[in-house]
Amino acid sequence: MKAIGYFRETGSGAKDDSLAAQNKAFLKFCEEHGYDVVVTFVEVADGNGKSGGGNGSSRGGFRQLVDYLRKPDRGFVLVVANSFEGIGVDHQQAVRRYFQLEGLGAQVAFMAGPADPLAELVESRTGDDEEKLGDRVRAAMRRKAVRGEVLGRPPYGYRVGSRRRLELVPDEAVVVRYIFRMYLQEGMGIRLIARRLNEEGFRTRRGGNWSMVSIRDILRNRVYLGTYSRFGVRVPGSHPALVTPDDFRAVQDRLSARRNNYAPRKPSPFLLAGLVRCGHCGNKMIGVSRRQSWRRRSGSKGQASYRYYQCESRTNQSVCDYHTQRADELEEHVRTQLAELGDDALLPEAGDQAGVREELEAKADRLRSRLRQLDRRLDDELGAAAKGRISREQLRKLNVATATNQLRLEEELEEIQRRLQDQRNASERTQNRKRTLATLLDGWETLSLIEKQPLLRDLVDRVEVRDDGIQVIRRP
């Protein structure tokens, strides 16, 4: 098996913690176990003893390791570190990184410490005072749920009334009954229901358009049976119902039948995902893949695949018109406009610099908040395993999913911080843009989609598509 070394300089001054000592121990470890040494990655501590490459701070050794593990031809690999705690600047980051590495398909081994770090993590949570407090809080919330008291935001159609029970909001209740009637009695699909509601002027609680997701959520919500469910507690008859049990069961049967008729699809990525906007309504345009089959007169079968960008308002809300653009044509158009960037005036610039900087800082704050939430989720899942509520295998699966999501957010934060740094130096930003543009255009045919997307996002704020033309708006 191939082995990759990952070493962190802790700044502690201990002889065994030096990079040279870790590398020597790694080579000995591989020799004893018969592993082939492939490459090593090093995280160097700053003056405060902290390593680079944390939550988006720099492309340190861990980020380079992640890039390596994403290579399609890297084969089966084992990541070897000095110790579990040694893979992060603190315990929380070590937990996060351990599951991120597993999510990238690598096995992880430590030269010092427990052979099974997952078991050690679970056992360390047993008897935790904070977890006991969490249990008491959850127990109190369950008691409220048993009494039918509302916890959290009430669903559409209801509000929190006396004794904290759900009571009807008449205008919203009419819409809920209308949705069930259209789906069950008129045989309308979810998209058509959203379209009718939007065309007739009905709005969601927040004043927005109805979408397929919001309609589906209402059709599947058992609260409309008069049953309140939270924390595993179900209280029938706790509030007025909006649909009969027979009608609700018929709706669920139809939803399940439609879902089972769909063959599983493997999503295929689109180069301009997240960048394309409908110039008519301002909403995103999403990538859509379609396959078409036909039979020729000769009896042979023909098949073709089509990829295009389509207005999301049309797809999910049935508002706006049927605006589409073939993916290959749109991507080539963007390439052509970028090739004309020799004169920056050829493309309009999005917003003023101060406004863009403020927007980036706000987005960075939101990402940090989301990362803290995911850290708490990791901690909660470890506590659930310690209490025996979930199995080790479930814990691994859940934590790999959570940590993988964290890794994506960390990389987004890293990109934002880098762009903020670029904002502070206009001349450097201009030079970076020129280098990015040259790299993108020179490698348009050879770079992978994953390599091209961040380059595009460095240059392009959005691509506005109208029936009469396409406009690429560059970043300031």
Q: Roughly what angle, to the nearest 10 degrees, separates helices 353-386 and 91-103?
A: 90
Whether 346 contacts 459, CB under 8 Å: no
> What end-to-end distance do the CA atoms of the chain give, in Å?
47
Residues 6 and 120 in one domain: yes
Instruction: Answer yes or no: do 409 and 464 share one domain.
Output: yes
Of the ranges 28-32, 131-135, 230-234, the best mean pLDDT one: 28-32
Instruction: Kindly report whether the global pTM for this prediction surpasses the value 0.85.
Output: no
pLDDT for the residue numbered 369: 92
Task: Tell me, yes or no, whether 135 lies in a domain.
Answer: no
Is 266 part of any domain?
no
- Other residues' Cβ atoms within 10 Å of the Cβ of residue 220: 12
Q: How many whole angstroms separate alpha carbon 305 and alpha carbon 366?
A: 38
Query: Which pLDDT score is estimated for 218?
Result: 93
Q: Say if 137 falls within a structural domain.
A: no
Q: Which domain range does residue 459 map to?
A: 344-474
The three-state secondary structure class of 456 is helix
**Spatial distance between the Cα atoms of 195 and 213, rounded to a whole number of angstroms:** 13
pLDDT band at 53 (very low <50, low <70, confident <90, very high): very low
Would you say 51 and 45 are in contact if contact means Cβ atoms under 8 Å apart? Answer: yes
Same domain, 247 and 356: no
Domain co-membership, 349 together with 470: yes
Distances (CA, A) of 386 to 90, 125, 131, 309, 383: 21, 6, 10, 47, 5
User: Do 115 and 160 fall into the same domain?
Assistant: no
Q: pLDDT at residue 247 above 90?
A: yes
Phi, psi torsion values for 372, nearest 5 degrees: -65, -40
State how many domains the chain has: 4
Asked whether residue 270 is domain-assigned, the answer is no
Q: Does 119 share its domain with 153?
A: no
Statement to judge: residues 287 and 377 lie in one domain:
no
User: 36 and 30 in contact (C-beta within 8 Å)?
Assistant: yes
- Domain assignment present for residue 101? The answer is yes
DSSP state of 247: H
- Calculate Rg over the CA atoms of the chain: 27
- The β-bridge partners of 294 are 302
Distances (CA, A) of 309 to 253, 270, 325: 32, 9, 5
Whether residue 12 is contained in a domain is answered as yes
pLDDT tens-place string over residues 321-377: 767 888 999 999 999 988 887 545 445 555 566 677 788 888 899 999 999 998 888
Specify the DSSP element, H or E, that contains 320: none
CA distance 367 to 198: 32
Residues contacting 55, CB < 8 A, separation 6+: 368, 371, 410, 413, 414
Residue 309 forms part of a structural domain: yes
3-state secondary structure (DSSP) of residue 326? strand
Q: Are residues 398 and 465 in the same domain?
A: yes
Residue 139 lies in a domain: no
Going by C-alpha positions, the residue among 176, 69, 453, 147 that lies closest to residue 287 is 453
DSSP string, 131-195: HHHHHHHHHHHHHHHHTT---SSPPTTEEE-GGG-EEE-HHHHHHHHHHHHHHHTS---HHHHHH
> Which domain CATH number covers 96?
3.40.50.1390
Output 312 or 405, whichever has higher pLDDT. Answer: 405
* 464 shares its domain with 424: yes
**Residues present in the chain in total:** 476
C-alpha span between 92 and 99 (Å, rounded): 11
Cβ neighbours of 54 (radius 10 Å): 20
What is the dihedral sign for C-alpha 58, 61, 62, 63?
positive
For residue 256, count other CB atoms closer than 10 A to its CB. Answer: 10
Q: In the block, which residue shows the tokens 């990655």?
A: 41
Lowest mean pLDDT among 118-132, 234-248, 405-419, 460-474: 118-132
Residues whose CB falls within 8 Å of the CB of residue 301, separated by 6 or more in sequence, listed in order:
293, 294, 295
Is there a single domain that holds both residue 7 and residue 84? Answer: yes
**More confident of the two residues 38 and 343:** 38
Q: What is the pLDDT of residues 297-309, one digit of tens each?
A: 887 887 888 888 8
Same domain? For 459 and 348 the reply is yes
The pLDDT mean for the chain works out to 81
Residues 412 and 467 in one domain: yes
The domain spanning residue 175 has which CATH number? 3.90.1750.20
